[in-house]
Structure 1
Amino acid sequence: MNLRTLAALALLGCLAMIGQAAPVSPPVTTSLRERQAVEMQWERLDALMKSIPQEPGATWSASPDYRFWLEYTQRLVFSEGVQLWDQISKDDGRRWQWLEFVSAYPNRPQFSSLDSLWRARAGEKGNSMADQAGRLDWERQLAAFKAECIASAIAPGELRAQLRCEALNERIRPYYQGAKPAAECDWVAVGREAAAIAADFPEYAENELRNLITITLRASKRHGPKDQPATLLALWAASPNAMVRKVASSEHHLADARVNPLTMSFTAVDGREVDLAKLRGKVVLIVFWAATWCGACKVQEPLMKEVYSKYHAQGFEIIGIACEMKEKDRQYLIDYVKEHAMPWPQFFDGRGMKNEFTQRYGFSSIPQYFLLGPDGLMIAHTGGSGGLKHLEAVVRKHLGLAPAASGDESKVLGVP
């Protein structure tokens, strides 16, 4: 049965269930009839959750039928779960299964007006109005369920850790996104709270915690006292959580690369041997990227090719660290760099963001860029789609060439 047929059947089921809401949260059921009713309601809820595709086809996901069905089904999954929450035992894992599902981004309603979405199915034009009241009510109830999960000693540890990280991230988001002055946030206190989560869940190694650590460290470098990053790194280096210790260690690797020549050697995907020690005297750009899944990584390809073609003969080198996810991506990478005229060597091991070099430097996102001077020391570490701004000016400077334009001598890689 294809996705379109499944979605159509689910839509009919959704419409048939309108008006069949269960009574509001009675006590945990005890009689056989009540337990059977709960089991039937859970089966219906489980079927609804399984009907929501995590990666629908682009054509189908853009259709008015799909948008209406998805919005309605997501809301129905939430309301049915709310009704079941207090009817099943607190040690029943299905409570947390449902909460984890509705907390995940792909399963959250957009709170577009169902009426306008329904009219769009019939071909009527008009803007889709937002159901703001529905959104606020959904957020209020979901927050209450998350708080109960965090406080529960029997909820799955990984889910509790994830929700604690999300809650802390929501508190600091206004500071690191600029809605509030970042200097007003106590980043050491944030770091201690992240360390407490890591200590309570020493096996937890997901990106929610890693991102908290890196955001906190980055903000403290930019907005805190000069000694604050060292305080945070010392705190995390003593963590019982191996991932947090590794992030702290990676920061030491990054700092060390500014005072000691960076070391890196491997056999490239095309068979070339790469060893940074043999590139002393050259300016080297190391690019952490992916051909198969990182759109932002490709933004700077034209610039890299232009600068490489101009200055390669004068001592400019590029090395790619391709963070492809699977061994089967090897040939795709080989074909991609050939088709896009990217002649520099590429590291590949099919381990994605878990390859030895991204792990060494604690990266949780790409693109990332290292620029090394002729002495092998790191000149700059930048990231993001704008991370190579002023590349040509900086390369010229470190190759010992005269500035191409007035002011180029003071430009910094990646800085507007």
Structure 2
Amino acid sequence: MKPIDKRAGLLTRRQTIQGIGGVGLGLSVSGLAAPAVHAQSKRPIRFLNGETGKDTLAFFAMAAKLYEEKTGTEVIIDSVPLGEAFTKLTNGIRSGTPYDIGTTGFIGQVLLLAEEGHIVPVNEITDQYEWGNNILFPIDEKVYWYPFDYNLALIYYRKDLYEKAGLSVPTTWDQFATNCEATVEGRQKGCLFPIGSNGATNWMSFGFMWAEGVELFDNQWNVILDSPELAPKAAAYLDFMARLYPTMPTGSLQASYGDVLSNVVAGTVAHGAYAGRVIESAERDNPEIAAQLDVMPYMDSTGSRTAANHGYDGWMVMNTDNSSAAMEFMNWMTSELIVDFLHTAPVHFQPTRLDIYDNDRWRDNALIKKHSGMIETMRGLITDESVVVTSIDTQGPNPDVRPGKVFESFALPEMLQNKILRGMDSDEAVSAAAEKIRQAVG
């Protein structure tokens, strides 16, 4: 099953930046509009779901039925692919028939809706729990979404190939590149990290650069990629990726999410980046490979720092005349049924709430028990403060539309292409990328 294209644009991760005017209400970023307080009504709660897996759809049907039996309030679940959710939400706002709860896969959407007063804070729910690192994205100390999972891009590797070649888990770029080179054999390639101008490259290929300490903006939103301190690190990253490229399959330029997933699950590459869905896909389609997979974080050049490329999904309570009822439903679902929801994609839906990891019922799942070592590795990445958890669209001092514009510009994938495909000097490629970022953010 081809994964959802969750990281291919500023708002929907599939649309272009020109779509940001879709709400059509000014989208000021100077201060948040005060949310209205509405009385609770008994009309149905309309929930726009963006997770369309078979088990997840069955969960929402069950949850709606239980809630109506419990309270007498009907919950209407509409489901669309996540890439279409923001458009459907904003169309509802424009037409005067807004949803009461919506799903998002991009913090930029949360920011825009909060700025316009279209969503309400959910602190009364989120304040009840302890959360993993860098996931709530508060705006003026208000939390405007309930993040239900991390979609961190991690590096999957083949344990059997490591054992066969006598390899150890790498902690430096040189060790990782050596392992990729050592696992090339015939049609089997060493690794796959996309380099095309697409969302897959934005999500899967820059974790090494984050681990090296590269950042795009300073605290005043100045572009610092080509600063004297960071430019040599970014150039070294390009040199490293150029070394990896010969160990990749042909077609890396156009590699998509689905291409990386299928290559890892098929066992045709020894290393590849993805989130937890790899395990669920491999268990279904290639159990022998599933038994040989493990994960590692991205590493830096010296072995001193690790990173995971950020990813996330969440629910928002919309500012409607039914907000109070929607909040009550959300409070009930996230307290009573969150484990049931997470079990619909048990490895892919990596919990954001730290209490879930010690929940006996959550742990009593066949896939979670089978891959418990991997689960603990994933847990460590969101609790260890030394691990860098970031991405292009979460760069900068606070949530803002500017990193999303950089994401959509594909400045960083083009930096890779300039080095690997066009043979540009690494320093020149970094300078060109920095200039394109400045143009993208105005």
So what's the TM-score if we normalise by structure 1? 0.27
So what's the TM-score if we normalise by structure 2? 0.26
Give the number of the structure with larger relative contact order, counting CA–CA contacts within 8 Å between residues 6 or more apart.
2
Higher helix share: 1
